Structure 1
Amino acid sequence: MPYLYNTPEDQAEMLSAIGAESIDELFKSIPDELRLNRPLDIPRALGELDLEQHLRELAGRNLHASNAVSFLGGGSYDHFVPAAVDTIGSRSEFYTSYTPYQAEVAQGNLQAMFEYQSLITRLTGLDVSNSSLYDGGSATAEAVLMAVDSTRRSGRVVMAESVHPEYRQTVTTYLANLGVEVVTVGTPEGTVDVAELTAEVNDQTACVVLEHPNFFGALEDAETIAQVAHDAGALMIGVFDPISLGLLKRPGDWGADIAVAEGQSLGTPISYGGPVLGILACTDKLIRRLPGRVVGETTDRRGNPCYTLTMQTREQHIRREKSTSNVCTNQALFALRATVYLSLVGPGGLRDVANLCLQKSRYLADQLDSTSRFELVFNAPTFKEFVVRDKEGAVEALVADAAKEGYLAGIPLGGWYPNLADCMLVCVTEKRTKAQMDALVEVLQTGAAKAAADELIQAGI
């Protein structure tokens, strides 16, 4: 593995250029109590063969969706990825131009972005899409900035507590220095209380942010909430699961002005949390406030169809204070993968995938709910995720025990929702089999029995 290093002469020259006497002087702002006062415990140097074997051994300790049975959700999902997605996505003309940067980008990449935008507008039922953003969280925050700018209302943003907690954190961070109040409406029953939300929406509200299906997997009363937002002159931002649109109404059809999503489920495997794909689409009237890139189709001087970047509202192309955001790139490779995936599965295939997720998740939810140890927390209809409570409150231990058996059972919710500390979020995609779901129920019950036995032992009984 080649690398560059600095000789003592190089170090001396750089220190002289910046006016420092030593490397230690560069760290003088770090308090002494935070500095390591002993040599690092670094093992001896390894040869290339030994190093490679060591790294492979370390990597082999990781537990991930390809060597476990995954029921994890919460924004990153173990969906099937057709082989053609990998084949096309790994072609050098796409793979090596991972994030094409300038307007002179190759026509092939521009066409791929244009096809992506076209598919996303069909998927969402909205008029225009950009050519992707970083992830679902930043896409949500960018949508909120669009709404604040478009409505010229900087008073408040109303969000449901059932929106992904990390998305809400991202929005709060984006707005921290803009003087915009973020109001979070509680969801004690798993979905937002329409009356409570209505009371929070006023003539200073820039937008309402709703996730449907929401973070708990439950279906919200999206059309009613969209009407509440519009009656107050606010914009409606819908956070959606792309796979769910095989069965559910498109965001544009239930009233969303801006739709955002995490697009990882469209042809990108889980990879320890990233990289991923941010989707953002909106109505025509908001196009000039759309962040990122928009590719348009036109004709060249010979009359041949060609593609070009257009509606360039980035700070690279216009005065900085007039730019819509500081987003200046996109996830071109993963947008390409989403394009290939959607082209392969088509509307019928997407419907089949969504229906399998719905039916299989319902089966597992019923199986867990029928045990004496577990119960479903919310009564609202769900899509592919649901929240289950361990009546004995040993969720963390159960998840850890299941992982030892090769099952990623779910996500404990206590870190985000203290009132759900005894609950976990479980997801079932089209990849899960009946045998795997039945085995998970057995593993969780075995783990529950083991946890109870351990408690008795610790109590000396």
Structure 2
Amino acid sequence: MPYHYNTPEDQREMLDAIGAASIDELFAPIPDALQLKRPLNLPPALSEMELDQHLRQLTALNDHAGTKVCFLGGGSYDHFVPSVCDVIGSRSEFYTSYTPYQAEASQGNLQVMFEYQSLITRLTGLDVANSSLYDGASAAAEAALMALHAGGNRTKVIAPSTLHPEYRQTIATYFENIDAELVTLDCPAGVLDADALAAAIDDRTAAVILQQPNFFGCIEDADRVAAVAKGAGALLVAVFDPISLGLLKRPGDYGANIAVAEGHTLGTPMSYGGPYLGIMACDNSLVRRMPGRIVGETTDRRGKKCYVLTMQTREQHIRRDKATSNVCTNQALFAVRASVYLAQAGPQGLRETANLCLQKTRYLAEQLCQHDRFSQAFDAPTFKEVVIRDAENNVAGLLRDALDAGYLAGLPLGRWYPELSDCFLVAVTEKRTKADIDALVKSLTAKSARQPAHV
């Protein structure tokens, strides 16, 4: 990122503008006991050229999807980003806009938010979408809060262990200081057992949260889960993969009341994990409980079509006790990129992308599991991710060897699931070629010959 330092003249001008005679006077309100009273222990200053070279050397030490063949998943995926997303998303009109209020929002920004909302409602099969949230995890937590608010005296939310573990951690954090309980159901088969859900759900349950496909890449029986939730009077919150909807049933079509997703797969790079895009849609009955901003279409006094901020549920805009969320600094830039991606891909492009992910993941699993060392951990069908079990129980060494060979081969699952410490999660997107997959299989199986047991 280009950086231009302040000159002494610049500093003097800023001090004059705020009425301070010096830097020391500016910092005078800070209690003396909290001031360092010595120079920072830093190496000698570098010139701009030297600093640029130093930072490039440091960044070259990182292993990432730009230098390795990436099979990482678990919420962040190496999908193709069309150049048009960068062309439109980097325009200054979008790139520099920041949390516009009604009086400040241009018609161009409002229109693109409205288009984004329209695309998301078509994608999810639900009635209304907001103009985006921070990321998938916070969107899931906001959905849980929506369900609690709508549920009256219901204070329990049920989530299977197949929901992304970091999403569950985020929801638990949101629940920490309110009267709410997150109940996690174990899923030893890799998918939620509808009978186990029926046994756990009761009249205190506000919502069931189902990830489809789930964290392990497995396809859940969403229709049956929806029926169990509805039968108990609970809402169904669907956590979906936007790319998967090129093939799978939309959340609204299997009865979800709220749908949320991590939307970075729609035109935003992995970027070391963020910033990302939180997608949220719901049915009409919940629209006044939805966080964030909702843009609507109307006509101006001359009868011309225009766009307005129809609903804003932030505490800055309305009385704090009536606010439904503190979502604030979301500038919707990544919603712009998602809109561009969906518009250029269209239904057929999304279907083709999803199908490539499905077929390539299936091919990798078949090729890898021909070797005795590897097997699929679960029998359920998968979409673009699959859990592979290592019979030698050396996942860390396996992935380290693959990295040395040029592959980000997958995520070890033991950090979240101790019972799966011998397993790793592999994701295959449309970007991976047959040659990439064959080479990864060759790398992983190169040292897989079992050593004879010593008697």
TM-score between both structures, scaled by the size of structure 2: 0.92
Gaps of 5+ in 2: 13-20
**1:328 to 2:328 alignment:** yes
What is the deviation of 1:197? 1.1
Contact 1:401/1:447 (8 A) holds in 2? no
**Structure 2 counterpart of 1:20, one-letter code:** D
Secondary structure at the counterpart of residue 67 of structure 1: coil
State the distance in 2 between where 1:431 and 1:396 align.
25
State the distance in 2 between where 1:305 and 1:120 align.
21
Partner residue, 1:28: none
State the distance in 1 between where 2:83 and 2:105 align.
27
Q: State the Cα deviation string for residues 91-134 of structure 1 (Å, max 9, x = none).
A: 11111115435542111010000000000000000000000000
State the distance in 2 between where 1:177 and 1:259 align.
25
Contact 1:138/1:278 (8 A) holds in 2? yes
Contact 1:101/1:329 (8 A) holds in 2? no
**1:156 to 2:168 alignment:** no
**1:137 to 2:137 alignment:** yes
Contact 1:81/1:268 (8 A) holds in 2? yes
- Over 3 Å counting, the alpha-carbon distance change for 1:98 and 1:373 in structure 2 is farther
Q: State the Cα deviation string for residues 314-338 of structure 1 (Å, max 9, x = none).
A: 2122110011111124351110000
State the distance in 2 between where 1:15 and 1:276 align.
36
Secondary structure at the counterpart of residue 419 of structure 1: helix
- Over 3 Å counting, the alpha-carbon distance change for 1:249 and 1:57 in structure 2 is same
Contact 2:146/2:290 (8 A) holds in 1? yes
Contact 1:79/1:430 (8 A) holds in 2? yes
State the distance in 1 between where 2:28 and 2:305 align.
56
State the distance in 2 between where 1:17 and 1:56 align.
39
Q: State the Cα deviation string for residues 133-176 of structure 1 (Å, max 9, x = none).
A: 00000000000000000111342110111000000000000011
Contact 1:237/1:259 (8 A) holds in 2? yes
Partner residue, 1:304: 304
State the distance in 2 between where 1:90 and 1:14 align.
36
Contact 1:133/1:329 (8 A) holds in 2? no
Contact 1:99/1:333 (8 A) holds in 2? no
Contact 2:154/2:203 (8 A) holds in 1? no
Contact 1:154/1:179 (8 A) holds in 2? no
Q: State the Cα deviation string for residues 271-328 of structure 1 (Å, max 9, x = none).
A: 1001100000000010000100000001111111110101222212211001111112
- Over 3 Å counting, the alpha-carbon distance change for 1:82 and 1:21 in structure 2 is closer
Pairs within 5 Å for 1:98-117: 98-117=98-117
Contact 2:97/2:331 (8 A) holds in 1? no
Partner residue, 1:220: 220
Contact 1:110/1:295 (8 A) holds in 2? yes
State the distance in 1 between where 2:77 and 2:29 align.
50
Partner residue, 2:32: 20
State the distance in 2 between where 1:367 and 1:348 align.
28
State the distance in 1 between where 2:30 and 2:261 align.
45
What is the deviation of 1:432? 0.5
Partner residue, 1:349: 349
Moved more, 439-448 or 393-402: 439-448
- Over 3 Å counting, the alpha-carbon distance change for 1:103 and 1:214 in structure 2 is farther
State the distance in 1 between where 2:67 and 2:372 align.
30
- Over 3 Å counting, the alpha-carbon distance change for 1:70 and 1:117 in structure 2 is same
- Over 3 Å counting, the alpha-carbon distance change for 1:98 and 1:424 in structure 2 is farther
What is the deviation of 1:45? 2.5
Partner residue, 2:253: 253
Gaps of 5+ in 1: 26-37
Secondary structure at the counterpart of residue 29 of structure 2: helix
What is the deviation of 1:183? 0.6
**Structure 1 counterpart of 2:439, one-letter code:** A
Partner residue, 1:383: 383
**Structure 1 counterpart of 2:148, one-letter code:** V
Pairs within 5 Å for 1:4-403: 10=22, 12-14=24-26, 16-20=28-32, 23-24=35-36, 40=41, 42-403=42-403
What is the deviation of 1:43? 3.5
What is the deviation of 1:12? 4.2
Contact 1:398/1:448 (8 A) holds in 2? no
Secondary structure at the counterpart of residue 311 of structure 1: strand
Partner residue, 1:35: none
What is the deviation of 1:266? 0.4
Partner residue, 1:446: 446
Contact 1:127/1:284 (8 A) holds in 2? yes
State the distance in 1 between where 2:4 and 2:428 align.
43
What is the deviation of 1:447? 5.0
What is the deviation of 1:20? 2.5
Identical-pair percentage: 62
State the distance in 1 between where 2:259 and 2:40 align.
53
Secondary structure at the counterpart of residue 190 of structure 1: coil
Contact 2:130/2:290 (8 A) holds in 1? yes
Secondary structure at the counterpart of residue 189 of structure 1: coil
Contact 1:133/1:331 (8 A) holds in 2? no
State the distance in 2 between where 1:162 and 1:119 align.
28
Contact 2:100/2:331 (8 A) holds in 1? no
Secondary structure at the counterpart of residue 153 of structure 1: coil
Contact 1:292/1:329 (8 A) holds in 2? no
State the distance in 1 between where 2:278 and 2:40 align.
43
- Over 3 Å counting, the alpha-carbon distance change for 1:15 and 1:347 in structure 2 is closer
State the distance in 2 between where 1:152 and 1:79 align.
41
Contact 1:246/1:350 (8 A) holds in 2? yes
Partner residue, 1:31: none
Q: State the Cα deviation string for residues 227-277 of structure 1 (Å, max 9, x = none).
A: 111111110000000000000000000010000000010011111001100
Q: State the Cα deviation string for residues 345-366 of structure 1 (Å, max 9, x = none).
A: 1001100000110001000011
Q: CA RMSD in A?
A: 2.4
Secondary structure at the counterpart of residue 167 of structure 2: helix
What is the deviation of 1:18? 4.0
TM-score between both structures, scaled by the size of structure 1: 0.91
Aligned length: 442
Contact 2:102/2:308 (8 A) holds in 1? no
